[in-house]
A and B are shown apart, each in its own frame.
Chain A
Amino acid sequence: MRNRILEWMVTMAASHRRAVLLVTVILTLVLGAASEHLKMDTRWSALLPESIPVVKEFVKIDEHFIQPSNLIVAVSGPDSDRLEGITDEITATLRETMSCGPKEDPEVCKGEKRYLSYIYGKQPEQWVNEHLLALAKPNDTRRMAARYRDPRLLPFLEHLNDDLEEEYADSEGVKNNEPQVVASLDAVQGFVRALDRAGSGETKPGEADRAARDLTVGRPYMFSLDGGMSLVMLASIITTDDMETIPLVDKEVERRLKPLQEKYPDYRIERTGMWAVGRDEMDSVGVETQIITLLAFVLLFLILAWNFKSFITPAVALFPIVIGITWTLGVIALVLGTLNMLTAMIMVILLGLGIDFSIHIANRFAEEIAAGKSIEEALRLSVAATGQGVVTGALTTAVAFYTLMLADTKGVFEFGFCSGTGVLVTLVAVLWILPAMMAWRAKRAERKKKTPVGSDFSALGRLVDGISEKKTVVIVVGVLVTILGILAGTKLSWEYNFMELEPEGLRSIALQDEIVERYKLSATPGMLTAGSPEQSRKIRKAMKKKRMVGDVDDVSLYLSRPDFEKNLPHIRKLKETASLTRTPLSFAEAEKNEAEAKALPPSGAENGDKDAYAGLSVAERRERLTRELDRLWANVVEIQALSFTGGQDRVVEKCSQLVATRSDRDKGMLKQLVKRFQKPENIRWEKLEEFGRAFQSGVAVRVKKMVESEAPVTLAMIPEDIRARYVSKTGKDGFLVNILPRRNLYEREDQELFLAAVNSVHPRVTGTPQMMLQMSLATMEEGKTAVIVAMLVILAILLIDFRRPLLALLAFLPLLSGMSIMLGMMYLLGQKLNYMNMIAFPVIIGIGVDDGIHFLHRYLQEGKGRMRQAATGVGRAMLMTSLTTMIGFGSLMLYLLRGMASMGLVLFVGVAACLLVTFTLLPALAKLFENRLFGNED
């Protein structure tokens, strides 16, 4: 059957070249047109079956929710107040230039490069202020009512201290309220800094008001613990499967922010998030890399040209591969419709394998023509004889790929289908087009009376023959090296950390780590959907108790609790008792104080309560203020000790900024402030009084706003941009809960710990790290089975092809031994298995099998005692196929993208190892079993 088909192809190439051309053109047009509809889906979810709950959840979130964590602008610099301003400017700039309203046509926005739907640089400050008391737990509302009842500087500080002492007396209290404690300490830090400046007479405009804001409503920005970084999260109208536009979004953001970066040279305005990492990754393939690749392909072409003594023949050999790839893409488009992250590499694989088919046939053709055979005879020998080996090799490789379709993992299944089909389609393209093209070229050469001359490879033949004579040594060494390779290969581990596959020093990745360092939180959340806001609240509460969870961000943060009624007495009490219009307490001079007391109505008179501070002299006020600052110091020191043992690093860090560490307490800003106040002559009291007035006013305005409403906050009351973060686009697919890990989940141990913790609360927590882990585990599990099944299938096909177990085993040897050596080398070179270098494996399997099959076929054709002739003939093609792969893909080793570099390395080493075994161990064994192979022909 195989021979008849090959003979028919020879006839077609020799006599019906126009028909061949016509069929090729039609097929290429049809399948080329089909391939135009092929879509790229490089999402992780496209690799895994949706039957897995976390995959289903990932897809649901991806489709129905916005994900602002995909693109983040981080601005960092020395002055925290200035950072607020720059953050506002960034938000305003992006809103003005890149925002696409919810009612606008996304396609129009896309055309105008307005890719952003929402920009989150700041909380809706006014809204939070109005509803703060209705959003808090009853106990927190009670605390706030007690804290804010007197906005004057001294009483406010006293009440703040009372609250800290009451609330944070034990480590568990600090742990359970870590984000709130951090926010409070952050506000205290701003207050202390402002007070310090006021005391020394250097007031900054708006500083007192900012301190009042932070201590009451909270800082509305996403600031780092050290106050040196602020984040702006960007939600896009572009969906995560639109891989073409995603890099453009990041590029446009960068372009729009460039003028701001120039305006503030002391500040860094940078981007991170998965989208920015993706673009940086693409940009890492710079001009130098492209030149290297180009040079490698020029070198490859020159080697082929040298081999064929022609510049056209290599082009002729490559042409059917290009056609074969086009046909393959067309078939994939018709059957699957999409390419995923794994199948996107199909072109690389087909180029690597397809060129081998061409070289073997073209080489034999050139060899036979050079030997003086007619075109028809040369075609027959190259296609019908050498073609047999090519077909066997291709079938073996294709079936090996098809075994991957046994996998449950969608990505692996599709990879099996695409690669297997691709190999067969490319084989058909080569066998269909190449003979016709070769015949046409040969006819033209005949007319011009040119005799093709091939390169002389007789030295290679002599070398292989010589090696085969020393069979004992070669076999012992070969077997030993193979065993060592297998043993070393078992020690190879899997690279779970995908960042290790990215280029080294990528800024967007370094920035992700910097965010973890500065915030003690990862910006890449685990996610799940809750059925209702109340379920979301329960999940948040349970998640927060988990050690690996740093914070939880969900819609319930913006909604009143079901027990909101319990807040009302505290809100009413604050409304009734807050002394918002009291005369500011003077710290400046006694006379002024007394004059004020006479001129103004008694403090607190409007509420009918007594003012405990009214009767204090200025000296007493100053002394009490100093005492309260010292008390504040003591409270922060105690909170630091409580959080130290429990490892609440964010709290420890924040406390350290206020009170330093135990060994150098005197250096702490709060201690220094206390010391300054202990010497009243060092204080500019009139400036401090000015600060106190502004602070009091700032607090009073906000408290007044807080108590205006007694209504609970419902979903409809949440500002639209905030609601969009948590409520699905349709409004029917639940509520998004973001679970922020304490660190980036790059490593398997962290991924598993985080998953174990969050899954004990809810089994559907998903996210990019979870998908990566799922994929790694599934690939490792199914990869092992696939390799074993593929090896068995290859062996079975070889048995069918050669019809003798000995021959089949010998043909299998270069693959088995070559791969073992490759695994051993990977171990010695410190390589790990990863997604990228796994792509190299099919190519190596294909070439390894080809090497064995071609060598044995040719040796059997040549006959007993003609090892040298066989090696000279087929060795040339094998050397060429291996060299082209090693040079072409080996150039990837120079890529900055470490995943690519590792793929290049594995391909280079693997193909070289297979070739080495084919030229050494295989001939030695063939020689050893020569009599059995040829049945004692002598």
Chain B
Amino acid sequence: MRTAKRLGLSMFSILLTVGCLVLLAGLGEASAKPPKVKDILEACDKAEGYKSSFSEAKQIITTSSGQKRTLVLRGWAVDSGDKQLSEYLSPADIKGQKMLMTEDGDNIWMFNPETRRTRKLGSHMKKKKVMGSDFTYEDQAGGKTSEKYTGVYLREEEQGGAPCYVLELKPTPKGPSYDKIVAWIGTADFITRRVDYYQDGGKKPFKRLISEDIRKSGEKFVPFKMTMTNLEDKTETVNVLTRIQFGAKIPDSIFQSRNLER
């Protein structure tokens, strides 16, 4: 207080100043009201969605025995991944193996090139892991986030150097099997940069997806590196896109199970 007096400020003027600051801060907050969660999710769907795409990628997984295994695959997808076909190119042990998902992962078929057999997996398989990776079929399935989740806005926070909306999302009846997810979505490009997954009533996330190396490919921003970490088992799966092409002409026939062996 003595310092205040020395500076020529009375108690009243201090209170006045503080009051004004609080008021201004309140107004500022009111004017920077975040967009609605639904709007963010729809913007995200728009930013991440596509009509058709062809991609080539590397997937590095941690096996049960603790070793790293690199799989190379290529994929065709339409309608933001609603229908998608992946084919493994290496290692030799699984070369030619194909996986077809349609209707948002409700239908899954696996094709083995050696036995030339196509097997349909039950829809309960959606929450199971794909080929020993940390991604489940439902993680990889396409569809619109705005239709799969509803939730609340938590805060704005930086993730990977970009300001993001942090949303706490709960699945809709159509949505995945998680209890909830917390997603970090870029405020500028609406690309998902991080997702924390919760299950079994846990208070801590059990796995985490980090999207990095976000670059433009054509008109779209694309994360070229996605790392899914199982925080309990200390395993991780890294997906690295080596090539992506949007708007490729993809005949619908390749998404038919009977054509898998072609």
Contacts and interface: CB of A to CB of B under 8 A. Distances in A.
Nearest to A757: B233
B132 A171 contact: yes
A702 interface: no
B110 A634 contact: no
A756 B232 CA distance: 7
Contacts of A760: 232
B67 interface: yes
B262 interface: no
A641 B93 contact: yes
Contact of A646 (B64, B93, B125): B64
Contacts of A637: 112, 114-115
A67 interface: no
A169 B94 contact: no
Interface in B89-128: 92-95, 97, 110, 112, 114-115, 117, 119, 121-122, 125, 128
Contacts of A171: 128-132
Nearest to B129: A172
A804 interface: no
Given A170-B128, A546-B233, A647 B115 contact: no
A547 B92 contact: no
A641 B133 CA distance: 14
B93 A644 contact: yes
B125 A170 contact: yes
A638 interface: yes
A246 to B, nearest CB: 33
Contacts of B115: 634, 637-638
A256 B130 CA distance: 51
Given A172-B125, A547-B235, A638 B65 contact: no
B128 A172 contact: yes
Interface string A165-180: 1000111110100000
B129 A646 contact: yes
B200 to A, nearest CB: 10
Interface string A139-180: 000000000000000000000000001000111110100000
Nearest to B128: A172
A641 B112 contact: yes
A662 interface: yes
Interface string A749-765: 01001001100100000
B69 interface: yes
A170 B121 contact: yes
B119 A645 contact: no
A663 interface: yes
Contact of B63 (A169, A646, A750): A646
A854 interface: no
Nearest to B92: A662
B234 interface: yes
Contacts of A169: 110, 119, 121-122, 125
B237 to A, nearest CB: 11
A695 B39 CA distance: 67
B132 A757 contact: no
Contacts of A641: 93-94, 97, 112, 114
Contacts of A173: 128
Contact of B64 (A634, A647, A665, A750): A647
A649 interface: yes
A175 B234 contact: no
Contacts of A753: 66, 234
B195 to A, nearest CB: 20
B228 interface: no
Contacts of B233: 546-548, 757
A645 B234 contact: no
A661 interface: yes
B43 interface: no
Interface string A231-267: 0000000000000000000000000000000000000
Contacts of A131: none
A648 B64 contact: yes
A622 interface: no
A645 B61 contact: yes
A742 interface: yes
A172 B138 CA distance: 14
B154 interface: no
Contacts of B122: 169
A593 B113 CA distance: 39
B64 A645 contact: no
B71 interface: yes
A743 B64 CA distance: 11
B115 to A, nearest CB: 4
Contacts of A644: 93-94, 132
Interface in A661-679: 661-663, 665
A742 B65 contact: yes
A173 B108 CA distance: 15
Contacts of B93: 640-641, 644, 661-662
A642 B232 CA distance: 23
Nearest to A647: B63
Interface string A547-575: 11000000000000000000000000000
A520 B65 CA distance: 9
Interface string A248-292: 000000000000000000000000000000000000000000000
B132 A645 contact: yes
Nearest to A634: B115
Contacts of A640: 93
A634 B117 contact: yes
A641 B71 CA distance: 13
B232 A647 contact: no
Nearest to A662: B93
Contacts of B130: 171
Q: Top 5 nearest A-B pairs by Cβ distance?
A: A647-B63, A646-B132, A172-B128, A634-B115, A645-B132
23 contacts: A165-B119, A169-B119, A169-B122, A170-B128, A171-B131, A172-B128, A175-B129, A548-B66, A641-B93, A641-B94, A644-B132, A645-B61, A645-B69, A645-B133, A646-B129, A647-B67, A662-B93, A742-B65, A750-B66, A753-B66, A753-B234, A756-B234, A760-B232
Interface of A: 165, 169-173, 175, 520, 546-548, 634, 637-638, 640-642, 644-649, 661-663, 665, 742-743, 750, 753, 756-757, 760
Given A170-B110, A641-B93, A646-B132, 19 more contacts: A169-B119, A169-B121, A169-B122, A169-B125, A171-B128, A171-B130, A173-B128, A175-B132, A520-B65, A546-B233, A638-B115, A645-B63, A645-B71, A645-B94, A645-B131, A645-B132, A647-B67, A662-B92, A753-B234
